[in-house]
Amino acid sequence: MAFVRKKSVLPIYLVGATWLVWSVTAPLYRPTHYVMAALSSAAVYYLGKIILPDKGYEMPDPQPQDTTQAQAQPQAQPESHTDPEIAALLQERDRAVGEMRRLNDTIEDPQLSEQIDRLEHTTQKIMDAVVKAPEKLPQIRRFLNYYLPTTLKLLNAYDRMDAAGVEGTNIDGTKGRIEDIMSTICTAFDRQLDALYGQEAMDINADIAVLEQMLAREGLGSMNFSADDKNQ
């Protein structure tokens, strides 16, 4: 508990009243008059302190702020980039992934929900791969401009029809076609991600081929071990 003292304001009011009464009832044009008025004000002030002294209160101690948890869990800062195209890509990534998560929460079909999870993770990897290598951005233009928005459009249509809660030729037929194409869309997204690493895979294969040739010329390639070596 903390002890807090609250000062009484009555003595100050009494001093002000003293000067007001003195200026009306007594002369106040010589230095001695001001000295007498000041002495009278001081006497009234101390008298007021005796009549209404300062009061003390016990206040509960403020609870210490728990900074350990705040330090352990710093607030996530939005990812930024100086390249405007990559910055727009990051924004689109967050929007698309967030939309997929929202749709996944509302769509109850277990198979479709699993496919949306797969699309979400693949989309995240595609975007992240281009953020790390911006020169790959032209490779995903069609993905960004058509495949991804069209997929989200289809999923939103499915969500609206599913939420209608009625059966009919149009609703059931459209939902069925969306369910049928989702497997193809998942495969297409996977292939888009794989294509981003096509050049890198070619470079690695070329390095492996050169390394194999050099090892073979130096006699350090594949060796035939004797039976005794294998048994050791």
Q: Which residues pair with 5 in a beta bridge?
A: 56
Burial of 175 per CB tally in 10 Å (0-12, 13-18, 19+): middle
- The answer on pLDDT for 120 being more than 70 is yes
- The answer on pLDDT for 229 being more than 50 is no
How much is the pLDDT for 109? 92
**115 vs 220, more confident:** 115
- The answer on pLDDT for 159 being more than 50 is yes
When pLDDT is cut at 50, 70 and 90, the band that residue 71 belongs to is: low
How much is the pLDDT for 154? 96
Q: Which residues pair with 4 in a beta bridge?
A: 57
In degrees, rounded to 5, the angle at the alpha carbon of residue 221 between the alpha carbons of residues 218 and 222 is 150
How much is the pLDDT for 94? 94
For residues 25 and 33, give the distance between their C-alpha atoms in angstroms, rounded to a whole number: 12
How much is the pLDDT for 224? 45
- The answer on pLDDT for 13 being more than 60 is yes
For residues 38 and 26, give the distance between their C-alpha atoms in angstroms, rounded to a whole number: 13
How much is the pLDDT for 227? 45
The C-alpha torsion from 216 through 218 and 221 to 226, rounded to 10°, is 130
- The answer on pLDDT for 176 being more than 50 is yes
When pLDDT is cut at 50, 70 and 90, the band that residue 165 belongs to is: confident
For residues 220 and 217, give the distance between their C-alpha atoms in angstroms, rounded to a whole number: 7
